[in-house]
Structure 1
Amino acid sequence: MKKVREKVLLTLVLVVLMVSVPVFAIQTDIDIVKQRVVNELMKPVNDGQIEILVATIKEDGTWPGIDYQDFSREGFLHRIHANNMLLLARAYKTEHSKFYNDGSVKKSIELALTNWVSHVYISDNWWYNQIGIPNSLVSLMLVIGEELPEDLIEKAQPIIQKANIQAQGARPGGDRIKIAGIEAKNMLFLENRERFDTLIKVIEEEIKKVAWIGMTYGYGFRDQEGGFNSRKVGGRGIQYDYSFHHRGDGVNNTLSYGLGYADAFIEWACYVADTQYAFSNQKLEELIDYFLDGICKTAIYGQYPDPGAKNRSISRPNALKPYSATMAQKLFRISTYRKKELQEIIDIRKNKKRPTTAHATFFRHSEHFTFQRPDFFTSVRMYSTRTHNMEVPYNSEGLLNHYRGDGANHISVNGDEYYNIWPVYDYRKIPGTTTVQSAKMPVPEKIAKLGITDFVGAVTDGKYGAVAFDFKNQVDTLAARKSWFLFDHEYLCLGAGISSDKEKSSVATTLNQSLLRTKVTLSQNNITKEIDKGEKVFENVDWVFQDKVGYLFTKPTTIYIRNRPESGSWWRINKQANSPKTKVTLDVFSLWLDHGVQPKDASYEYIVVPATSVEKLERTNITKTLTVLSNTPYLQAVRHNTLGICQIIFYKAGEIRLTDHLTLRSDTPGIVMLKTNGRDIKEISVADPNRELGKMHLSLSAKIKKKGGTYGTLWDKEKGISTLSIEMPSGVEAGKSVTILF
């Protein structure tokens, strides 16, 4: 009997333990997550700033300098009020602050919060109502909420709860994940574990690729239900090429909304790591892929934002500041996936190391190409029938962005060549673009527009690439066939068919417009000289040098240089209430070619050599390295004689002689890159910018017998011709390059 009682007792103990362990684990895990969130909120405080806030708050809970009557999209400085409350709360809870547990600080918080809940300030910009302010207030609650009067907590809840996954702004993509995160923080504060569990799943499931909606000749996004009422993905989120679309316009948002999207997921991945709420390895790996292959490859050395990938945010001060290592460090800590690559990004961002990798990446769903070598970075931004050129100038930002999608080709060696240059910029001279030089810019309402050409794309094998842009500007009736051919130490830019019927205004192709950092040196009739500041035209120019970048011409060329101080203001390009109106003056370097008024079939050829010097340029014979094989509106082609690479753009079916022994014919439009070793072909890469071919057919005057799963070959001995039939990607892969190794 005694043994039976002992067995029963032991069984009861085990049952109690089995029941209690999960309860204990849930309690422990949610406490861990909450503490991590609070720890992250407790950032360092500036006691001097806190002293000013306490001294200047009024009895009605307002602060001077804030217009409490301006609720406009350009204004709503109430956000400063909300941030002030959080700053005070941090000081109150920071032990090493002299305001730790200070009664005057707590009183200031209560005064300011009482003012807010009494007025419930609503902005004309939905973002503040459903993201910005709820996030500030829930952060305030997590830091000091337990010490605030209950009536203030209750009155703050309806404002915080405007951030919920049923809210209008919680559309799939960048905003849904942020709003879910704010609601999850509120559930931690309210200790609503069931709802918290649901929200964590929502955040985790937001990490996924979405189908590109511009692939059906660009009309897909026009049929998508848009606006706040849409809960369809509608192409918003991570694309299959690792760019990011925030809206259904196809505009590249990787370094804006896409960055915030990744940051929100990483934030929660760290909060829930090693708890029952931890995200799956699959989702972490998908996010790391997007971070490394999307965000980092859209950034100069993975560190500085590519100016060409920025939209209206370019008009904000410090928009091009270098990224910190924080995101990479967090991912490195919570996953073992691609750790070597994450470590390199950490070293680049934190320890100022140069990258070791080179890449040529085409984000085909966003018509954006990036190219990196250890000592330089460049990019090309385009648009087509499948995408818009630029986002709308929401909130009166980016008011002069009309031409920034027209083949923008920024060049970076240091990474900061364009830092805060934008107030003084000539927005008719975007690097790489061909633009009508009208005396007056079009109105902001004409910035965002859908492309009208299909042939926009690039071929790449991951290391080298060629870019093609059949460019037509609807506003300025300007047309041009523009291309870029990129190699290890230089790249060549071609333009053909440049035509415009715009009266009175000349057309210019801008090679660069950047900060003036050094003396401008040029070679004219093989004589090297430094030039004085000002604006001047130079004839018979061989090359130009400024700030580690050389611009070479295949034949003596007439060029225009402006190297002088330029003035402007942030207010000129950004009408936000707190946009600085003070005059800004910076030294600026501009270099361009003038095609004249109403040009007909004009053209250009120039070579960019980054990371060089005057001494190197004086020793360079670039024509020995690069050969322009063709530059017409129908066929643009270049041969790199040292690398044995030929890059050819067929705007329509055609034939070209590449070497004395090799002729290439394409039966369709497309882009081809061949790597040769003497008479032997080592590799062929092809791409279809039109995104319409099932197969691409090539003919080569070389013997090729090898066959593969995605291509076939036929050797005609009598004609000495090999015919290749190459299967082209379709669906979300359309526009992607195919590479065949021999």
Structure 2
Amino acid sequence: MRILRSLIMVGVWLVALSVRADNADELARIKQNYARMLVPSGEDPSGLLSILSSIQPEKEMSDQAVVELHQRYPFDLKKITTYISSLTDAGTWPDINYEDKKRSGWEPKLHAERILELVKLYNSKQTAYYHSPEVETVIRKALDYWFTTRPVCLNWWYNQIGIPKTLGTAFILFEDKLSPTEKQQAITVMENAKFGMTGQNKVWLAGNVMMRALLQNDYALVKMARDTIASEIVSGGREGIKDDWCFHQHGAQQQFGNYGLSFVSGMSFFSGLFSGTSLAFDDRQLAILSTLIDRGYRWIIWRGMMDVNALGRQLFHHAPVHKALGLAFAASELGGGESQSCAAVATALLHDNYPASERNTLTGHKHFWQSDYTVHRRPLWMASIKMASDRIVGAEMMNGDNMKGYYMADGATYIYKDGKEYLDIFPLWDWRKLPGVTAFEDDAPMPLIKSYQPRNKGTFVGAVSDEEQGMTVMELDRAGVKAHKAWICTDDFLLCLGAGIQADSNLVVTTSIEQCHKKGELLAWKKKEWNTADEKQTATAGEHRFFHNNTGYIVWGNEGEIVAETANRTGRWHDVMQMYRPTEVQGEVTTLYLKHGASPKQAAYQYLILPAADKEKVADFDLSDIRILRNDTIVQAVYAEKKSTCWIAAYRPAQLAVAKGITLNIQTPGVYMIRKRGKGRYTISCASPTQQEESAKLEFNRKQIHISLPQGKEKGKTASVEVVVR
């Protein structure tokens, strides 16, 4: 019996040794993957490094995704030589303000970023600095400064996430050179990060814990961190990936370009980091991530630019360019090069954006129904609409970011052709006249946003879509202004309607049609010819046509004034994003907007946008084809004869004579689209913007129609039925 027990104990011991050996091998593989993925090799299989190298690097950065994108730049040896030569005996760099108190763009983070850059240089065989004693000395001195002084930011994020994330990577790449004392000091830095929080913050913190575990060779903690990271690769939670393939953080708030981009980039990195080990992401997890890119992110990137409506509060210089490129890197690296399905999604994304195709291949109409966000894509143009409701937080201001974005989710409507229409326009904007927004005209300081709670009291916010075209609606009840706003998106135009506009102030209320960079002349159609309208012009009610940058604007049937102007403006990035220095920039901005007067009671508007058009098309466009059936607080309805389509936003039950011989009795409030498919055959689509109805009921030429609307997680999506009406 004793011999048997001894044999069992020996067997257990051998198994334990084997497990420890396997665990040690896995830890070694993960550390090797760190070096393989982060130390420049000179390879550029996707061509993205060449594109990045052609873009001027930013001098001031706060966005973590952009910081990590810049860490991919090829080594600037001239700059690095300066780092080496200018480091003081105290281990500091004289151009960094170590006493900085900013909550965003905190300058001491530059110290950590330079350490990482030097460590990567030290480990790269591509330069003469490979294992250079001089570089090693500089790294040690810079590390000693951080270990000794332990700088602390007023913003918790840098202390727990940003700094450990940057220095942790450096520690792992430099681990073999760390003395026992230095290694313990490194672990102390990493102990600032602990498991917790939600969404991308949870992923960041777990990633930092994992780096500490690697330094401690603690396999169990590495696995725990990995499992915590992977636990966020799910959809349908309160935050994170939503069922509409958007990404939420800070409550019910669309965060594609901020936390969402860091999530995708981080998960792509981890998918490569764990490859070749038992901790690798499985096919289901990779499928969720690739679908998020394919059905979410691909829609918001246009010609290598991220939609302004997707940037969130991160309105940095060149943000659309950097964020789109960061996404491209993440997509191309997802799956560690071992997933064909991930590679296929990346190929599709890159094809449309790098270089940008003359004709976009991803076309259609998509409403992110859990996010109050609509994207409409055509071969030559794209439009996006961002809203808010009593369910969805529209915008946030935080840590000095987005200090003027109070109206960013009140129906902001952007039209893209080459993608540069709004690039870096933020310091020059009149932020109360964002395209598509109805708001007060005022020179007072912009109100501040102080919470993550929904601020629009409107409940009727949503869209109907057949994935080709659609109608988006917004009941605006916010900041003293009420309005019913609607957008109809088709293959060649965007029709915008407003009704019931009223305000609780004596200030003038406006609706902005466009506010973009000037590109060519602003022209007005007068007396059957185009005339320059670059100087400020004001016109009263009637039909007015304008043309600018291959886009036409037709305004008609309005009671107020229309203002058209191009003006040279000055502004400061600091006023929008306080991390920037208060230096002025200049530029010319073209603006079109409607004036509804002071204290309007039931004002309305209607205008048409014709993107990617020429002057002849705008001049010849036949408005008689577009019949505005109603435009009031009960119904906003339009019928287009040539498109055989009727779009209806019914805020209350109503009756409509749609066309000759076609009557409609809508019994359930909702957004409807009726498309004629043939003689007597129609497709009726419906969505409930309140997301409360179970079914839609209507009478179509005396025929009762019932449409079962999606419920549960699918609330807000479109449902359709095919009907025959004789």
Task: Give yes or no for TM over 0.5.
Answer: yes
Counterpart among 401, 404, 408 of residue 412 in structure 2: 408
Report the equivalent of 1:221. none
Aligned length: 672
Conserved 8 A contact 1:524-1:541: no
Supply the distance in 2 between the matched residues of 1:396 and 1:740 (Cα, whole angstroms): 49
Report the equivalent of 1:285. 287
Supply the distance in 2 between the matched residues of 1:94 and 1:31 (Cα, whole angstroms): 19
- Amino acid across the alignment from 2:647: Q
Pairing of 1:391-406 with structure 2 (within 5 A):
391=396, 393-406=397-410
Conserved 8 A contact 1:508-1:595: yes
Conserved 8 A contact 2:352-2:361: no
Report the equivalent of 2:51. none
- Indicate whether 1:38 and 2:46 are aligned: no
Pairing of 1:31-430 with structure 2 (within 5 A):
31-43=28-40, 44-74=74-104, 76-165=106-195, 170-211=196-237, 235-248=238-251, 250-300=252-302, 303-314=304-315, 316-321=316-321, 323-324=324-325, 325-331=328-334, 333-337=337-341, 340-353=344-357, 354-391=359-396, 393-430=397-434
Q: Deviations over 1:126-168 (max 9, x none)?
A: 1111111101111111222211332122112111122232xxx
CA 1:138–1:306: 2 relative to 1, 3 Å: same
Supply the distance in 2 between the matched residues of 1:555 and 1:468 (Cα, whole angstroms): 20
Report the equivalent of 1:4. none
TM-score (norm 2): 0.88
Q: Measure how far apart 1:508 and its partner are.
A: 0.9
Report the equivalent of 1:699. 699
Conserved 8 A contact 1:381-1:408: yes
Supply the distance in 2 between the matched residues of 1:286 and 1:194 (Cα, whole angstroms): 26
Structure 1: gaps spanning 5 or more residues: 1-13, 212-234, 702-720
Conserved 8 A contact 1:541-1:559: no
Supply the distance in 1 between the matched residues of 2:179 and 2:270 (Cα, whole angstroms): 29
Conserved 8 A contact 1:47-1:97: no
CA 1:272–1:75: 2 relative to 1, 3 Å: closer
Conserved 8 A contact 2:191-2:209: yes
Conserved 8 A contact 1:402-1:446: no
Conserved 8 A contact 2:545-2:619: no
Q: Deviations over 1:70-119 (max 9, x none)?
A: 34414631101111111222222223323333322222111111111111
Q: Deviations over 1:582-605 (max 9, x none)?
A: 210011111111111111211111
Residue identity (%) = 25
Report the equivalent of 2:44. none
Report the equivalent of 1:724. 705
Q: Measure how far apart 1:313 and its partner are.
A: 0.7
CA 1:446–1:525: 2 relative to 1, 3 Å: farther
Report the equivalent of 1:711. none
Counterpart among 459, 469, 473 of residue 474 in structure 2: 469
Pick which of 22-31 and 129-138 moved more.
Answer: 22-31
Supply the distance in 2 between the matched residues of 1:556 and 1:651 (Cα, whole angstroms): 22
Conserved 8 A contact 2:97-2:107: yes
Conserved 8 A contact 1:402-1:447: no
Report the equivalent of 2:643. 643
CA 1:633–1:524: 2 relative to 1, 3 Å: farther
Conserved 8 A contact 1:629-1:639: yes
Pick which of 485-494 and 287-296 moved more.
Answer: 287-296
Q: Measure how far apart 1:27 and its partner are.
A: 4.7
Pick which of 317-326 and 254-263 moved more.
Answer: 317-326
Report the equivalent of 1:686. 686
Pick which of 271-280 and 394-403 moved more.
Answer: 271-280
Pick which of 642-651 and 64-73 moved more.
Answer: 64-73
Pairing of 1:449-528 with structure 2 (within 5 A):
450-473=455-478, 475=479, 477-503=480-506, 505-528=507-530
CA 1:299–1:27: 2 relative to 1, 3 Å: same
CA 1:38–1:161: 2 relative to 1, 3 Å: farther
Report the equivalent of 2:4. none
Q: Measure how far apart 1:388 and its partner are.
A: 2.3
Supply the distance in 1 between the matched residues of 2:334 and 2:263 (Cα, whole angstroms): 14
SS of residue paired to 2:75: coil
Q: Deviations over 1:673-716 (max 9, x none)?
A: 11103552331110111122122111001xxxxxxxxxxxxxxx
Counterpart among 547, 552, 555 of residue 553 in structure 1: 555
- Amino acid across the alignment from 1:278: A
Supply the distance in 1 between the matched residues of 2:623 and 2:380 (Cα, whole angstroms): 19
- Amino acid across the alignment from 2:262: G
Pick which of 328-337 and 354-363 moved more.
Answer: 328-337
Q: Deviations over 1:400-447 (max 9, x none)?
A: 111111111111111121000101111010000111102213432469
SS of residue paired to 2:32: helix
- Amino acid across the alignment from 2:416: S
SS of residue paired to 1:552: strand
- Amino acid across the alignment from 2:654: G
Conserved 8 A contact 2:243-2:713: yes
Pairing of 1:526-605 with structure 2 (within 5 A):
526-531=528-533, 533-539=534-540, 540-554=542-556, 558-576=561-579, 579-605=580-606
Conserved 8 A contact 2:247-2:254: yes
Conserved 8 A contact 2:568-2:587: yes
Structure 2: gaps spanning 5 or more residues: 1-10, 41-73
Conserved 8 A contact 1:47-1:99: no
Q: Measure how far apart 1:265 and its partner are.
A: 1.1
RMSD: 2.4
SS of residue paired to 1:313: coil
- Amino acid across the alignment from 1:681: R
Q: Measure how far apart 1:507 and its partner are.
A: 1.1
TM-score (norm 1): 0.86
SS of residue paired to 2:501: strand
Supply the distance in 1 between the matched residues of 2:598 and 2:616 (Cα, whole angstroms): 37
Supply the distance in 2 between the matched residues of 1:339 and 1:138 (Cα, whole angstroms): 29
SS of residue paired to 1:208: coil
Counterpart among 718, 722, 726 of residue 741 in structure 1: 722
- Amino acid across the alignment from 1:425: W
Conserved 8 A contact 1:453-1:472: yes
Supply the distance in 1 between the matched residues of 2:617 and 2:370 (Cα, whole angstroms): 38
